[in-house]
Amino acid sequence: MLKGKIALVTGASRGIGSEIAKKLAAQGAAVIINFNGSRDRAEEVKKEIESFGGAASLYQWDVSNYKACEASMQSIIKEYGQLDILVNNAGITRDGLLMKMSEEDFDSVISTNLKGAFHTIRFASRQMIRQKSGRIINISSVVGVAGNAGQANYAAAKAGLIGLTKTTAKELASRGITVNAIAPGFISTDMTAGLSDKVKEAAAAQIPLGMFGRPEDVAAAAVFLASDDAGYITGQVLHVDGGMVM
């Protein structure tokens, strides 16, 4: 389904990003695995993709760093000569109530989760415009739609990603490029592993389907949005949240 396509997934060393990378590769795309600190985990994802005959390469950079992103994107275009799919998945949390939230914690989440996507879109879209085609998928969150006490920085970044998605979708539609967001609910990854059982139970009680989702559930939605079948869908937010937001 994605044979001949080149896909970049940011934050693909672990969790949702690694599943998206694996599923895109399983569909035939050559996948560029971006990571920041977890080189060993990124190597494992690459090996797993290669074990089923897929193609993958590793690119380390901090998505919040504009210059590092520019240099890496230039190398990627030079190496592959094309870029068809961009998934902005890299994200962090620095939770705390607004009254106690430090400026540093606010800024770091905005820089990684929102500005990081601006950086990659800025450089990827140039190439996609030349190709007159492309798929951009931004991983937002249910929290960006509904808010969540203790996550002002994260919710602002994820809501910002939705605005960025819709605006970019309008700017790039005439160039054959679609831009969509996925808003996952609670997904079992390192990001949610640290929640106490009490918080997890309270969270599950808000989910009509009654359980946390799996990274594979989000990855399946990303593969669909990256496919030719989704060619008439742009500027949308696809909720993968067990029914939390309807």
Residues forming the site for ligand NAP (CB under 6 A): 10-11, 13-17, 34-38, 62-64, 89-92, 112-113, 139, 141, 184, 186-187, 189-192
Is residue 154 annotated as part of the catalytic site, yes or no?
yes
Distance of closest approach, residue 232 Cβ to ligand NAP, in angstroms: 25
Q: For residues 218 and 215, give the distance between their C-alpha atoms in angstroms, rounded to a whole number.
A: 5
Distance of closest approach, residue 96 Cβ to ligand NAP, in angstroms: 16
Buried b / exposed e over 172-205, threshold 16 CB at 10 Å, is: beeeebbbbbbbbbbbbbeebeeeeeeeeeebee
Catalytic residue among 59, 66, 154, 232: 154
Residues 6+ apart with CB under 8 A from 167: none
Residues 6+ apart with CB under 8 A from 153: 94, 101, 105, 106, 108, 109, 110
Nearer to ligand NAP, 1 or 44 (CB): 44
Distance of closest approach, residue 151 Cβ to ligand NAP, in angstroms: 10
Catalytic residues: 154
